[in-house]
Each structure stands twice: as C-alpha cells, then as structure tokens.
Amino acid sequence: MAKVNSIAFIGLGNMGGPMAVNLVKAGFSVTAFDLSQAALEAAKSHGCTAAKSVADAVAGKDAVITMLPAGKHVRAVYGGDDGIIANAAPGALFCDCSTIDVQSARDVAAQSKDKGFAFVDSPVSGGVAAADAGTLAFMVGGTDEDFARAKPVLEPMAKAVLYAGEAGAGQAAKICNNMLLGICMIGTSEAFVLAKKLGLDPQRFFDISSKASGQNWSMTSYCPQAGPVPASPANNDYKPGFATAMMLKDLRLAQDAAQSAGAATPLGAQAQALYALFAELGGADTDFSGIIKMLDGEWQQ
C-alpha cells in the first residue's frame, strides 16, 4: 500500500481551508486549489503551495482531497478533461469530504475505480471549529483497502475516522445521522417550549429530562434552551455552530434519498419543512438550535 506524502486539496472554504492547514501541520506537502483567489492566498500563507487549476493541483500527487459545496461541484471537479480523474497520477487516492447525495458519491467512486484510482466518500460531522481544531468525525465509504489507505491521511483532521461500508455508505451515514439530529433538535425544543408554558423552570426540566428517558445529544451537549449547557450556541445569541442552511441542505438530501430508496421518513419530512420555514423567516444563518425561538413565538430576525 503506497504511503501518501503529497496531497492536492481542492475546495478551501470554511471547512476545507482549516483542514488543509492541519495536513500541512502534520507534515504533508499540500498543493491547494480553489476558484476563490482569497481562499487560495490564505492557504498559501499557511504553508500550502497554490496551484493554477484542478489539473495543475493533482498532477503527480499521491492523494487528492475535495471539500466542495454539493454533488454537482464534485461531479464537475472529478469529471472532464480538466478534472481530477483525467489528470491525477496513476493509482492515486481520492477522498471526497464534501456532503453530497449518495448517487453522486457512488457515480464518482465508480468512475474513479474504472480508471484504477482508490476512492472513498468521507463526509464529516463537526463544524468550522472542529475543522480548525482537527477534531472532525469522518464517515467513510469504500473498500476495506481504500479505507486503510485513507485513514492516516484523514487522521490529522479528525477525532474519529469511522468505517461505514461500501462506496456511498459514508454519505448515507452522514445524512441519516443529520436527519436524526434535526428531528431530535426540534423535539427537544418543543419539550422546552411546553415545559415553560406549563410553568416548569427550564433548568429544572433540564436536570430531570437529562437524567430521564428524554435525554439526547441535542439536550445535553447542544441545548437549544439558553442556560443549562454553557458552551451551546443558545448562550451565544445562536451564532453557528451549525447553521440552519446547512441543516436544511442535509435534510433535503435525506428526503431525496428516502424517496429514491422508498423509505418512509415522515418526521424527517416534517423536520425539513420546519427548517425551511425557519430559513424563510430569516434564520438561515442562525444556528439550527435557534429553531426553538420560532417554536416559542419569540423569533425576530
């Protein structure tokens, strides 16, 4: 199994920028490319080499990491004469860390494998702060062999690198997890809203429910009610964190996947509708836990 020394990193946005820096800190030689000149300059100032194009970035590198907005960007960057597949070194390893639809992940994996490349879909959980700190959780889809090759490349950016299954399974795990998170956040918010209307002190309700069967991550680690969990965005004016627009993107991906797979996900559909409403009311850039404000009628843009 060829050891990875040189990496091309494509997509240096809010997440990709700090992720590339953590790879430089870990001793990899990182060549970076982004359509944004500002993002490219920032990467350069942190020790990356700036490339002129995707083709220029990937030429001769052991591995290529992509961190792009959506499936269409990933398909475009991997495909075509100027793309990754046409220009990468034979046998290179590809890791797509973007959150995209399962079908695009499977298609790009198949196109890469056809040409003899290793490919994993490796979306992440954790926001910009985790990207900065190198504490992301990666959910990885691909063969056992490709996973073993990708793991040491992803580790400098991670607190956990978790194997999900065959190609596309990383994206599947990510959207199923985030659908559950969206549903739990709304449920937790509704419980606090009702508790208050019933005259329960929010802190007392937290103390009880966090030790009873209502306990869940949205309550004990990321509480939407200001007060009980000091580090939660609720105590910082609902600054993200994880923005509502991002949650909505993942809930839409989950509904698209549910439709094509024939899965019944009525609560996922309802969560998508509620987050779409919150975004429409001006909450798109607010942390997703801010939906409690809409539910309790206190939301003001």
Q: Distance (Å, rounded) from C-alpha 149 to C-alpha 250?
A: 27
Helix axes 266-278, 244-261, angle to 10 degrees: 150
CB of 136 to ligand NAD, least distance (A): 8
Largest CA distance in the chain: 66
**Residue 82 in contact with residue 55, Cβ under 8 Å?**
yes
Choice between 98 and 209, CB closer to ligand NAD:
98
* Residue carrying structure tokens 């004016």: 237
Angle at 269 between CA 267 and CA 271, to 5 degrees: 70
**Residue 100 in contact with residue 171, Cβ under 8 Å?**
yes
CB of 236 to ligand NAD, least distance (A): 15
Choice between 35 and 273, CB closer to ligand NAD:
35
Choice between 76 and 148, CB closer to ligand NAD:
76
Active site residue 174: yes
Nearest to 99 by CA among 178, 12, 171: 171
Selected catalytic residue, list 3, 52, 61, 174: 174
CB of 129 to ligand NAD, least distance (A): 9
- Strand ranges (DSSP E) for the chain? 6-10, 29-33, 49-50, 63-66, 93-96, 118-121, 124-125, 136-141, 158-165
Q: Distance (Å, rounded) from C-alpha 189 to C-alpha 180?
A: 14
Residue nearest to ligand NAD (CB): 13
CB of 198 to ligand NAD, least distance (A): 34
Choice between 229 and 246, CB closer to ligand NAD:
246
Interface residues toward ligand NAD, by CB under 6 A: 10-16, 33-36, 39, 67-69, 73, 76-77, 98-99, 124, 127-128, 242, 246, 249
Amino acid at 132: D
CB of 47 to ligand NAD, least distance (A): 18
Choice between 61 and 249, CB closer to ligand NAD:
249
CB of 262 to ligand NAD, least distance (A): 25
Choice between 2 and 76, CB closer to ligand NAD:
76
Q: What tokens were used for 191?
A: 């419980």
Q: Distance (Å, rounded) from C-alpha 24 to C-alpha 47?
A: 6
Q: Distance (Å, rounded) from C-alpha 11 to C-alpha 270?
A: 32
Q: What are the residue numbers of the active site?
A: 174
